[in-house]
Each structure stands twice: as C-alpha cells, then as structure tokens.
A and B are shown apart, each in its own frame.
Chain A
Amino acid sequence: MTDRMRLKTVFFIALLSVAINSAAQELPTGDLLIRNATVLTVTNGTMENTDVLIRDGIIAAVGEQLNAPQDTPVIDATGMYVMPGIIDAHSHIGISNVNESSAPVTAQVSVGDVLNPYSIAIYRALAGGVTASHVMHGSANVIGGQNETIKHRWGLLDPDELRMAGAPRTIKFALGENPTRVHGRGNNKRPASRMGVEYVLRETFAKAERYREAWAQYEEDVKTNPRAIPPAYNSQLEIMADILNGDIMIHCHSYRADEILMLLGVLEDFGIDQITLQHVNEGFKIAPELAEFGATASVFADWWGYKFEVYYSTAYNAAILTRNGVLTSINSDSGELNRHLYHEAAKSQKYGDLTDDEALALITINPAIQLGIGDRIGSIEVGKEGDLAIFDRHPLSIYAINQKTVVDGIVYFDIEEDADDMRLIVDPESTVDTAVIHSHEDTHQCLYEGSLDLYDFLESN
C-alpha cells in the first residue's frame, strides 16, 4: 500500500486518538477531551464553558474543569459549540446500489450487502457534522430492500466497519407515484395505481402470514418427526415475517395524506404498530392521526414541487408535526443536502418558531429514536457514544461552519486537515479533471438505478 493519502489519513487518526484499539475485530475508538465549549446537549439544555470527555469512544463526563489522563488528546473549543453528531434518517450515500427495481417487492435485498466505504460522500457528510446515516434502498418498489444504519468512520476500509453494529433492522416501503410509475407504467405490472399499492402490501403481508404459519407447523412437526421436510425457503417472505414479528422497522416513502392513512390501516390490520414515514409532505394534514397511531415522520424543511404528488406542501410541516406530538426529523435524501442539515433544521425553526433544542432535535435525537438508536447517539449525555460535531458558531446560525467531526471519540473530519484530495482510492484509468465532478450521489436518487432507461425520465424522491 503505497498510497500516501491513506497513510496520511491513518496517521492523522492515530495522532488525535492514542487509544485506538487495533484488534482486528474491534472497531477503533478514541479518547478525547474537548475543553471549554458551549455544549448543546439537546436533551439537557445548553451548558456554557463546559468540557466533554470521551473515553474509549464513550462520553465519560460532561462538566466544568474535567480531569483526564495525561495522554488524552485535547481540543480547545473556547468560543465554539459542541453538538451531538448529526444523524441523517434518509440517505443513499456509501452504497453501490440504490434500487433493485425489477420487482414491486424486493424485501430480500439489502443495501447493507453493498456498502462502499470509499464513497467520498461519506467524507463530505462528515464535513457537514453528520456522523451517522440511515442509508436506504430507493423508492421504486412498494416493498423495497432493507436499509443499513452506518457510522461515518472515514478511512476504515472494510464495509463492515461502516455498520452501526446493533442498530435495529429497517426496511424501505414506498407509496404513490414512484412504484406505480416504475411497475405500472414501466412494466405494465401491478401496482399501476394507489389501489394497486395497497393490494401489493396486503397480498405480501398475507403471504408472509401463511409462510410464518407453515414454518411454525414444521417446527412443531419436527419435534415428533425428525424426517419432516421444512417448507420451501423464501428469503423474501422470511423478511416479511420478521416485519410481522416486529423485528424490522418500516420506513415508508410517502407524500399524500390519503395514502398514508391507507398504510396505517394496512399496518393496523396486520398488527404492526411501528412506522416512520419518510418525506410525508402532507403530514401536516393528518398530524393528529399520525400521533395517535404512534407514527413518526422524517421530512424536508422546504423542498417540494418536484412532481405532482409533492405540490401540496409547506415549510411549517416539521413544526406542525412536532407541535402535534409527532416525533419528527429532517433528512437529506441527498449527498448535497446532508452537508447542511443544520441549515435545514434552522429553516424549520424560522418558519415554525421551534425552540433551539426542538430544532436541533430534528437532526439529532429524533432521527436517532426513529432508527432505534436513541439510547446510543443523538444527544450529549454520559454513557452515549462519542459522536460530536464542533462548530465555530451556533449551528443554527447561517454563519456556522463545522470545524471538527468526531465519531467514537475519533476526529474523522478536521477543517484544518481538509486537503483538496481526500479520496481513499483512485482509479488509475480515471481522467484527472479539476472541474467539479457531479457525483450521482449529489443528486436526489431515490429512483436512481442504472439498468432501467425509464428512470432517466423519472423524477426523484
């Protein structure tokens, strides 16, 4: 490995965190003392002139004048703001495939199988203070693939090292125009209408119930008959059964109020009580219903109008949902927007008059809860993981610039170390171009999929 870039990155990480655990199986974690910052805990208010101590990647103490072992790396954050690492609840960075758009139900596929730790979009997300992303299958299918929650451990090269181990399993669903366009108009298959979407949902869940019953019967039979033959293995229905069993959380791409209510009805009929609605531009119309169901929402601050079903939208959406008791986050769905999610949170605050903590919760603790990791990240509390972003100004200020991003106690982004070329690998056959390369990850790529020409004409999200 003569790649000096790589060596530099590794050296840089090593320099700032003496306690890197180099054991092959364990992920590196760091010790870090941040001195004299304004600490935005999100769950516990704002603390002035406060230190944050991270030991072995876990927040060990938050308070004034903390003591740390002598070798602990120290960041003097006088005049700076420390917030929990930003969490993007809807992203498609760091994966090689987005949509397996050949079928309206593809529960068996998982973007976790195609993680790409070399994706520069991960580093760019870090530059925007984002420490974790929920990387999702696209929205071409009614029941898409499984998603993966990753931590932005830039420079670790094994895809498994991106995974946030222990994070709950999640899966992508999609309603409305995208699946009907791809499968109905594109392939002349069901669903061609919103009614068809409901049909596909009900049919697939019904099959999964029968599959689950067949396996339960087999498990019973095999106790008395060791020669019993199990039912045919069906990886798709295995996943659907796991959803029915509450082992996989649904994140559903959806816009319109009517179809969202349809979905809640389907879930109710199949005994599923957990749902995070993604985009949910018309959520403001049905906020009380969502709250009553216990659904959560992950929205854009002010992004709409990119196709017909997204016209009826408002910048007050996040605030209305929040005020109605719907746990709400703001996501990016984009390798560009994810670099300024703090601006997006600030927009929702400006329109909806949210408090600072409410606005910051939209991009920290709330998405963490939606991903089932609210006990591990999303706020600055002792015992939580050492994922932080350090800003020069208050992160809800339009002037704020992220200075350092910390994951597991290790500084993975430092504006002082941000050279022009931060790639981890270079294709020797690539062309050298100093102009801006427009990566497909920069675009909104819910429907990105190279193999179907139809998609070139499709809108995203």
Chain B
Amino acid sequence: MLLIDLQSVYCLNHSSLQSIMRIHYFVFAATACCILLMNLPVKAQVNSGESVPDVTRTIALTNAKIIPSPGQVQERSNVIIRDGLIIAVGPDAAIPFDAFEIPADSLTVYAGFIDGLSHTGIPQPKQQPEQERPDDPANPPDELAGILPYRDVRPLLDPKDKRIASMRESGFTAAHVVPRGRMLPGVGAIILLGGDTPNEMVYQGETALYAQLSGARRMYPGTDMAVIAKLRQLYKESERRHRADRLYREDPTGLERPQYDPVHYAMFPVLEGERPIFFHTDGVLDLHRVLSVQEELGFPAVLTGLSQSFDAIDKLKSADLPLLLTLELPKEPKQNKKEPPADSTETPPTDAPAELPEIMHLDYDPDHRVTSFTDLESEKANLEARRTIAYKTHVGNAAVLESEGLSFGFSTGSASPSDLLTNVRKMIEEGLSENAALAALTTTPAQILGLTSSMGTVEVGKMGNLVVTRGSIFDEEGQVKYVFVDGRKYEIEPPKKTSGSDADAEANPAGTWSLSISSPDGEIAGTLTISGSDDDWSGTLIVDITPETSQLESIAMNGNVLTFSFDAGEFGNITSSLTLDANSINGSFDVPDIGPVSVSGTRTSGPEKSTTVQ
C-alpha cells in the first residue's frame, strides 16, 4: 500500500511537479485514446507497489455485486467514484475515460463500515510521569480525577496509530473516536480511517461527550457509586451555572458576573440537547446504573458497550435510546477435552472464526446436586456446560437485541481489530441476521452519528467509502480485497497464513519475559517467568512497583495464546491473555474495575529464545 495522496502531489516540490506533468500528459493521452476508441475502458496506470502517486481520483469498480444497503443487491453493476464521492452506481453506469478500473466480477461491494465508538487513532500514552497523588484525595484537581469534559479528541489523533490500518483491513472506513480516560475523558470526533495527517482524518468534530463508570485511582470519585454521585453534582451545578450564565447574558442588571470554568461550561452543550453523552456500559449492572442516572438527569444519551444487555431487554426498550453494541466477545471457554488436532494441510486464515467445539448438546442439568467430594467430576462437567451456555448467550446478545426489535450499531471498543469480522460471524452463527449485522456496521451507526447524508450506503452522492470483498463478508471464507476511504484505494493483503507445518503447534511460552505494562498511571516494567510444558505450566510475575512475587494460576496455552491469572492484592484478581509471536508477547491484563491494560514484552531467556515459533 504505497499510495501517496494527491493532496501531497500538489505541493510544488520538484518531484511533485514531475508528477503533475505526468498526469497532464496522461490525461491528454487518455483523451486522445477515448476519441479513437470510444467505449473502451481506460487502463489507467496501476499503482502496483512502487512509490508512485495515484494518477487519478476517478475509480470504477466494474461488474461487481453491490450491496447498496442492507437487504438490497445489485448484480453486475458498476460503482464510480470521483474526487472522493460516489458519482454513479448501477449496471449502466458509464465508466469515465479517466477512471482507474478495477474489474470486480467476482467481488462484492459494501458501504464502508463505521465504528460507532472506539479509541482508534488515539495511541495509549506510552510513558507517563508517575501520576502525582493529589494533595487532598477528597478534592483532587479535575484532570487528575479523570473529569475532562472539555478535552477535544482531535489534537490527540495520530495517523500512525496501528489500529487505523488494522481496522481498515476489517472493512472499517470511518470511526467515532473519543479520548481514553476515566469518568469523562472528553469530546469525540468522526474520523476517516485513512489520511496522513490528523487534519485529513477528521471528518467532524465535537460529536459527543464520552462518559463511563470508571473511577479515579486513590482519589474521589474512586468507586462507581462515587462516579454516579459526581455526575449528579456536576450536572446539577452545570444546570445552575447555565441558567446564571444565560440570565446574565440576557441582562446583567442586578446579577454578579458568572465565572467561567471549563468543566461546567463543557456541559452546556449537553444541557442544551446539542451534544449527547455516549455512555459506555460494561455489563448489565453498568447498564442499569447508567440508565437510572440518565433517566434521573435526563441528558441526551447513546448507550455503548452493552455487553450482557440480553438481561435488560425490557429496560432498554422503555429507555428507547440509540444503542452501540461492542464487537468484543468473551473468550471462548476452553473445554476439558483436547480439541481434535486440526488438519495441517488446510491452515485456516488467521481471521477465520474459531471452530466451536462439539458442545452443542449442552447437557447442563440445572437441578444437578452432588454430595461433597463424592462426584466432583460430574459437578465440574455440569459447571463447564453452564459456562458454555453462558458463552453462547453472550455471543447471542446481538441476536437477542435484533429479535426484540432493538436496532443497534456496532462499536469496536477495545476489541482486537483482527477479531472484528470473526466476532460478527460468531454473532451470526448465534442467530443474528446478516442484514442486521450489515446495518449495524453501516446504516445504523450512520444514523446514530448523524452521517446518513454522507456514509452508510453505496449511493450516488455518498462518500467513496467502500469495502470490496471476495465472497460474502459474513462468510468465514470471505476476504476483504480493497477498502476505499474517501475515494482512496487501499489494497488489503490476504491475511498471512501461519507458515509451515508447525502452524498448529502450540507456541512454547517457557522462559523469562521482560514485560512492559501500560498502566493508567504510566508504564510499569515486569518480569514474567514461565516453566513447565504442555498443560503443566507454572510461573511467576514480578511487577517492579511491588516487591512481591505473584504466583500465576490457571496457566494455559491455547495455540499461541497464553492465559493466566494472578492475585494482585489491592487490584484484585487479574486475568491475562498474551499472544506469543516467536520471542515477543503482546496482549493485556484485565484488571478489575480498571479494564484491560495492554502488555507487551520480549523473551530474555528460555528454551525458545532461539528456536522458531512463527
């Protein structure tokens, strides 16, 4: 993908001038050709990998199967994009003389996917100074307490954030992004998942205020209940200041001048109904709490996250708020039984949905009773069956929302980009219709985000945001071939196959790993030591901020994913999932009340240090 945006071409440096001259020459030549060879499509200079700029901003996808919007199909049609906009769609759409044509006979064209909410393009702060302890934990400065409703996400954008490209590879072309943080991290923006500068990426700013029930560390508000109380305080005092400000501006007679402050004043657009709060909920308890405080205070809201919402359907219906469902799914429970070895001759692409093991005949007995110590195996099997049902229930959340008539868009949240399509497919397997899935990726987020005039469908006048796939995007064989963002083409490499016959062999985590933990309070170093083999691992973790050594529990290797948990004292029981790639390791620690904290590391010693684990 060695594209250079035309905008940069217009910068008049020396090489650019040459490029422009080339274009002029090309257009002239093409025009001449057209006169001679009327309807023959122009074979434009293809961007075939070397570092040359795009020569045209007109693109024709020809003879494609087009899904203009969920439920609609146009076979053998063309889509023409010019200057970033779709200018023609249909079987008879003429192919302009200057178009770069992509024969798409075997391809399907969808509207580019829209991520309803995530931190895409906002890198995790790598190094933060040790967070200062406020002088008075009861009354800390707002920015330490995570209360930054005035913070704009746009200056935080980094076009080099890796998530942008990896989201695009899954078909996402635009995202609603918000700052990272705690209770009120800031104000979001719609960005395009392409572009070389933050300004190019921004489609629209000041979209919404982001909120979550996420307390500050070691200061007020620390707990969920305090975050709720703080929100009440902030909201009601903002209402008062808003009124005072309005009265004063109408007529200052007899009034003291209200004093500006960034926090309360940032709430004014919310009070005026101009800016919704996108409120994240992680689990059904969050959902109830957020709905209660929303109903009490009455702010305009969009609910995001919504895991476990299958348990609060009636409340969601009566709340009647826009919904953005996370594409994160719980990890599939590992069954006791060893899964049958995969056929090594047919290596599935890495983003293919994981096979559901044969647990469909869920023999869970809700009345199961054993006398202690007499039949622990049956007890365990029963509990595992229940856990598998729970897993399927969680995956089936989207299907439940659909069947209950609750419309929703998808948000990618902190889901791994490589899981996005896999997880949509899993949801479809659990009963979500393909139309609802596509709507949740395109039209519904466009509606929720107020983007219907420019995004969400393949229609004349919309932005040239497209996903072009080989096979259905919802089929596990389906592959994203091209993604167009604002008319700019991105060719997607087929997912790398895990090489060689070892592909299915489990990676060996044994050894010593030097870890870097991106805690909310800054980077923390740690040392992970794993020993043992196969299903008999043991290990320890030393984190530099404490002298204690944590014993790892429930250590398991599944493919190249290492999972374990450990007791982290004040932080609770942390579960970890780390993906091994040769001698590097990446993943996260799931910290209670804080959420996933990203972790990366390298192997410093161990049996596998020099051997190959692809």
A binding-site residues for B, Cβ under 8 Å: 1-5, 8, 24, 96-97, 99-106, 108-111, 113-114, 116, 118, 145, 157-160, 187, 189, 225, 227, 229-230, 232-236, 419-421, 425-432, 434, 449-453, 455-456
Residues of chain A within 8 A (CB-CB) of B197 are: none
Q: Name A110's closest neighbour in chain B (CB-CB).
A: B225
Q: For chain A, what secondary structure do more than half of its interface residues adopt (helix, strand, loop), or is it mixed?
A: loop
Interface bits B250-289 vs A (CB < 8 Å: 1, else 0): 0100111000000000000000000000000000110011
Q: In the bound complex, do residue A452 and residue B220 qualify as a contact, i.e. CB atoms below 8 Å apart?
A: no
Q: In the bound complex, do residue A429 and residue B330 qualify as a contact, i.e. CB atoms below 8 Å apart?
A: yes
Point out the residue from B136, B218, B369, B386 that lies within 8 Å of A452, measured CB to CB: B218
Q: Complex: how many Å from CA A274 to CA B293?
A: 30
In the complex, 6 of the A-B residue pairs with CB atoms within 8 angstroms, ordered by the A residue number, are: A8-B366, A109-B221, A113-B289, A235-B229, A432-B387, A452-B218
Interface bits B43-58 vs A (CB < 8 Å: 1, else 0): 0000000000000000
Contact (A100, B223) CB under 8 Å given A8-B366, A427-B390: yes
Q: Complex: how many Å from CA A103 to CA B565?
A: 32
Contact (A2, B393) CB under 8 Å given A157-B311, A227-B254, A434-B380: yes
Residues of chain A within 8 A (CB-CB) of B308 are: 425
Q: In the bound complex, do residue A158 and residue B315 qualify as a contact, i.e. CB atoms below 8 Å apart?
A: yes
Q: Complex: how many Å from CA A189 to CA B239?
A: 32
Q: In the bound complex, do residue B225 and residue A109 qualify as a contact, i.e. CB atoms below 8 Å apart?
A: yes
Whether B321 sits at the interface, judged by CB under 8 Å, is no
Whether B569 sits at the interface, judged by CB under 8 Å, is yes
Q: In the bound complex, do residue B225 and residue A100 qualify as a contact, i.e. CB atoms below 8 Å apart?
A: yes
Whether B342 sits at the interface, judged by CB under 8 Å, is no
Q: In the bound complex, do residue A420 and residue B379 qualify as a contact, i.e. CB atoms below 8 Å apart?
A: yes
Contact (A453, B569) CB under 8 Å given A24-B314, A102-B138, A235-B236: yes
Q: Complex: how many Å from CA A100 to CA B247?
A: 37
Whether B244 sits at the interface, judged by CB under 8 Å, is yes
Q: Restricting to B209-243, which residues have a CB under 8 Å from any CB of A?
A: 215-226, 228-229, 232-233, 236-237, 239-240, 243
Q: Complex: how many Å from CA A114 to CA B254?
A: 43
Q: Restricting to B373-393, which residues have a CB under 8 Å from any CB of A?
A: 376, 379-380, 382-384, 386-393
B binding-site residues for A, Cβ under 8 Å: 136-139, 215-226, 228-229, 232-233, 236-237, 239-240, 243-244, 247, 251, 254-256, 284-285, 288-289, 292-293, 308, 310-312, 314-315, 318, 330-333, 364, 366-370, 376, 379-380, 382-384, 386-394, 396, 400, 554, 565, 569-572, 575, 592-593
Q: Name A106's closest neighbour in chain B (CB-CB).
A: B226
**B374 CB to nearest chain A CB (Å):** 11
Contact (A114, B224) CB under 8 Å given A24-B314, A455-B570: yes
Q: Name A105's closest neighbour in chain B (CB-CB).
A: B138
Residues of chain A within 8 A (CB-CB) of B391 are: 428
Residues of chain B within 8 A (CB-CB) of A116 are: 285
Q: In the bound complex, do residue A432 and residue B384 qualify as a contact, i.e. CB atoms below 8 Å apart?
A: yes
Q: In the bound complex, do residue A109 and residue B389 qualify as a contact, i.e. CB atoms below 8 Å apart?
A: no
Residues of chain A within 8 A (CB-CB) of B244 are: 229
Point out the residue from B218, B240, B382, B388 that lies within 8 Å of A230, measured CB to CB: B240
Point out the residue from B239, B394, B569 that lies within 8 Å of A456, measured CB to CB: B569
Q: In the bound complex, do residue B330 and residue A432 qualify as a contact, i.e. CB atoms below 8 Å apart?
A: no
Contact (A426, B311) CB under 8 Å given A100-B222, A235-B236: no
Residues of chain B within 8 A (CB-CB) of A431 are: 554, 565
Q: Complex: how many Å from CA A168 to CA B315?
A: 26
**B383 CB to nearest chain A CB (Å):** 5
Point out the residue from B222, B364, B383 that lies within 8 Å of A101, measured CB to CB: B222
Contact (A419, B219) CB under 8 Å given A432-B384, A453-B569: no
**A137 CB to nearest chain B CB (Å):** 8
Q: In the bound complex, do residue B225 and residue A232 qualify as a contact, i.e. CB atoms below 8 Å apart?
A: no
Residue among A8, A24, A108, A225 with most chain B CB within 10 A: A108
